Structure 1
Amino acid sequence: MRQNARFADVQPIGLDVVAEAAGTDPDVLRMENLDTDVAPPPCAVDATTRALASGEGNSWLPLTGLPVLREAVAGELRTRTGLDYDPSRQIVITSSGTSAVMPVLLATTEPGDHVALTDPTYAGLLQRVRLSGARPHFLPLRVDGGYWRLDRDALAGVTTAAALLLMSPSMPSGVLLDRDDWAAVAETCARTGAYLIYDAAMERLVYDGHPQINPCRVDGLAERTITIGSVSKEYRMIGWRIGWIAGPAALMERIKMAVIYNTTVASGFAQLGAAAALTDPSGAGVAAATAEYRRRHDTVIEQLAGLPVVRAAGGWSCLVNAAALGLTAPELSSRLLRYGRVAATPMTAWGGTIAPDHVRLVYSCEPVERLTDLRLRFDAALTRE
């Protein structure tokens, strides 16, 4: 078979292998995959059901997304960023947030360009950088005060980059960038001419009273930022597969073309459900969901007290350092499933030198009641011969 250099360094995501090995055993804690059992907004379910019954949205057009959803996204972004995005020129609807990443990379980079990402980072971001023909430049995360923190010295050392591809809170670490971090990002973008590609999928899922800072509100970033959003995480609407891209109008012309030729159009039925969630006056349950995820996160941290687990500042997952336990991440993942009945993904494909030492624990689909024996499961995994 003919070789393809584009795939030379692309690694499998890993979570699907763990999920298959876990099977359907109800005793297994499902902490390998970013699903959730917290219900989506009822208004979104109702709107989608009505659309299916009436046929509304059963069309290829408009290729860039239904006006009602683009306007809803513009309203959402106005609240978050303080900016007035033109729904027709500056917003395009995509088939999920992750599928938005490749069109943005194709519009902002050339083959061989550097794209800076944190280590660890979401494999879906990292491997798309490689597939686009760009090259990842890793910015290591360090543990400081019990939380992951961005290494700003490493950021200051970036000399060439076409883009910085960042998420906050981020998968899989739960790192949250503060105002000083974003100011350092702005300085790097100005110095290198880079765009900021900002994955905002979990922006409001923040714990412990940490401030939620949108980078567009930081001096120097608004005009350089391309925002990728979705309804999957904050609104618990994973199966709808609806996302969006917003950015400078001139650049969005290229991005729209890449989106259209990649997927043509996102599901019209699902778009109507997404619009209902974004415009729900009650907030679509985001605050209540965040409180529930925090309860689960805190239970995980309490259960694993004394083990090398790092608190998340937000999001749906946290990381355990397998190397600090004398194991590789695949070894710890295997032992957790075999002896502890915990499905957890090794971070082999999720970074450079830091991520591969870790295993991810996702708590978004396991209620507190099922997490209360997590320590016993870990002990079984770590002590069995």
Structure 2
Amino acid sequence: MRNNIRFADVLSFDIDRVAAAAGSDPGVLRMENLDTDVPPPPNAVAATRQALADGQGNSWLPFTGLPVLREAIAADLRERTGITYDPGRQICVTSGGTAAVMPVLQAVTEPGQQVVLTDPTYAGLLQRVRLASARPHLVPLHVDGGLWRLDREALAGIREAAAFLLMSPSLPSGVVFTAEDWAAVAEACERLDAYLIYDAGMERIVFAGHPRINPCQVANLAERTIIIGSVSKEYRMIGWRIGWVAGPADIMARIMVAVTYNTTVASGFAQIGVAVALTEPSGVTEAVAEYQARHETVARQLRGLPLVRAAGGWSCLVDAEELGIPARELSDRLLTRGRIAATPMTAWGGEVAHRYVRLVFSNEPIKRLAELRDRFDAAL
């Protein structure tokens, strides 16, 4: 059987391996997967149920998303970016945010072209670059004052790229880009004539004291930016599997073709529920406050250990190598001795990511997170 070069360097998430090892033991702290116990908006749940009862959205059409949802996305984007997007020509609904990544990469890259990501980054972004036959170029994040920072000098040294594929806040690190970071990205995109593919799935999950900047608000970036959004994280609607792409009309024409032939249509029932989530109060502010409180609990519990604090998002990282333990071994010891399910970052970047184990704090209440230090001590 022939080998396929696209898969040569594609690695497993490792999340499923850790989850299977943890099983269904209720005594295990579940910090391996990006789930959440903070409930979705009740109004969105009710609207989805009503759509099912009424038979709304039970159709293949429209391929690019229901008009009511595309209009709600346009209104949300106008508030975030200050830009008016044409719902028909510049917005396409997808089956979750990550399902949008491959069609966008296919529309903006040719085989062998370079795509810039951070190290670490979300494995679902990095491995999709490889599956699209593009070449990932990793710009390292470094730790400064206990927080992650973008290596802007490394960014300035890049000599070729078709696109930059970035998140803020980013998985798995929780890094939040500053105005200076985005200005450096804008300079690099303009210099290299590259697109910015911006995964905005966590854009509003930013903790107090850190900036929240949409790159479309940065000079010279809006006309190059393709936004990928979803309701999975901000709205806690993971199971709905609804996301979207928005961007300049010329490139969106290609992206819509790629999305249509990839999935045909996202769930119509779910689209109706998501439209309500985007247009009515949905508890985002309250959820962010809860995630910040959980993050602070993790930071207090692991004081003195090599934890890098997050500025936003649902997870943070522990430096296993600074503890003198390879990341996979620390993950195994946390589970077998400390009863903590946590994922090593083997597939989530390069030299930087491989040092770390991720702790997801979005799916465990503060009362259980308060046991974290005792469990770490047992593991170590």
TM over 0.5: same fold?
Answer: yes
Superimposed CA distance per residue, residues 153-184 of structure 1 (whole angstroms, 9 cap, x where no aligned partner): 00001110000000000000000001110000
1:366 counterpart residue number: 364
Aligned mate of 1:286, from 284, 287, 306: 284
* Aligned-pair identity (%): 71
Q: Does 1:121 align with 2:149?
A: no
For 1:174 and 1:332, how far apart are their aligned partners in 2? 21
Which one-letter code corresponds to 2:110 in the other structure? E
For 2:337 and 2:209, how far apart are their aligned partners in 1? 37
* Partner secondary structure for residue 340 of structure 1: coil
Q: Does 1:303 align with 2:301?
A: yes
For 1:375 and 1:210, how far apart are their aligned partners in 2? 26
Quote the offset at 1:209 in angstroms. 2.5
Which one-letter code corresponds to 1:275 in the other structure? A
For 1:164 and 1:337, how far apart are their aligned partners in 2? 36
1:183 counterpart residue number: 183
2:49 counterpart residue number: 49
The 5 Å alignment of 1:165-314 reads 165-280=165-280, 282=281, 284-314=282-312
Which one-letter code corresponds to 2:214 in the other structure? N
For 1:13 and 1:39, how far apart are their aligned partners in 2? 25
For 2:58 and 2:208, how far apart are their aligned partners in 1? 43
For 1:180 and 1:372, how far apart are their aligned partners in 2? 36
Q: Does 1:318 align with 2:316?
A: yes
Runs of 4+ that moved beyond 2 A? none
For 2:193 and 2:74, how far apart are their aligned partners in 1? 26
Q: Does 1:153 align with 2:153?
A: yes
* Partner secondary structure for residue 337 of structure 2: helix
2:339 counterpart residue number: 341
For 1:311 and 1:210, how far apart are their aligned partners in 2? 12
* Partner secondary structure for residue 226 of structure 2: strand
For 1:318 and 1:250, how far apart are their aligned partners in 2? 38
1:25 counterpart residue number: 25
Q: Indicate if the aligned counterparts of 2:301 and 2:373 stay in contact, CA closer than 8 A.
A: yes
Superimposed CA distance per residue, residues 47-91 of structure 1 (whole angstroms, 9 cap, x where no aligned partner): 000000000000000000000000000000000000000000000
Which one-letter code corresponds to 2:94 in the other structure? T
Which one-letter code corresponds to 2:290 in the other structure? E
Deviates more, 1:208-217 or 1:17-26: 208-217
2:132 counterpart residue number: 132
The 5 Å alignment of 1:93-108 reads 93-108=93-108
Which one-letter code corresponds to 1:379 in the other structure? D
Q: Indicate if the aligned counterparts of 2:176 and 2:211 stay in contact, CA closer than 8 A.
A: no
For 2:195 and 2:178, how far apart are their aligned partners in 1? 19
For 1:192 and 1:275, how far apart are their aligned partners in 2? 37
1:34 counterpart residue number: 34
Quote the offset at 1:146 in angstroms. 1.3
Quote the offset at 1:298 in angstroms. 0.4
Quote the offset at 1:2 in angstroms. 1.6
For 1:173 and 1:307, how far apart are their aligned partners in 2? 16
For 2:372 and 2:175, how far apart are their aligned partners in 1? 23
Which one-letter code corresponds to 2:59 in the other structure? S
Q: Indicate if the aligned counterparts of 2:38 and 2:236 stay in contact, CA closer than 8 A.
A: yes
Quote the offset at 1:145 in angstroms. 1.6
For 2:208 and 2:287, how far apart are their aligned partners in 1? 14
Q: Does 1:72 align with 2:77?
A: no
For 2:172 and 2:81, how far apart are their aligned partners in 1? 24
For 2:155 and 2:322, how far apart are their aligned partners in 1? 26
Task: Give the alignment's Cα RMSD to 1 decimal.
Answer: 0.4
Which one-letter code corresponds to 2:62 in the other structure? P
Which one-letter code corresponds to 2:300 in the other structure? E
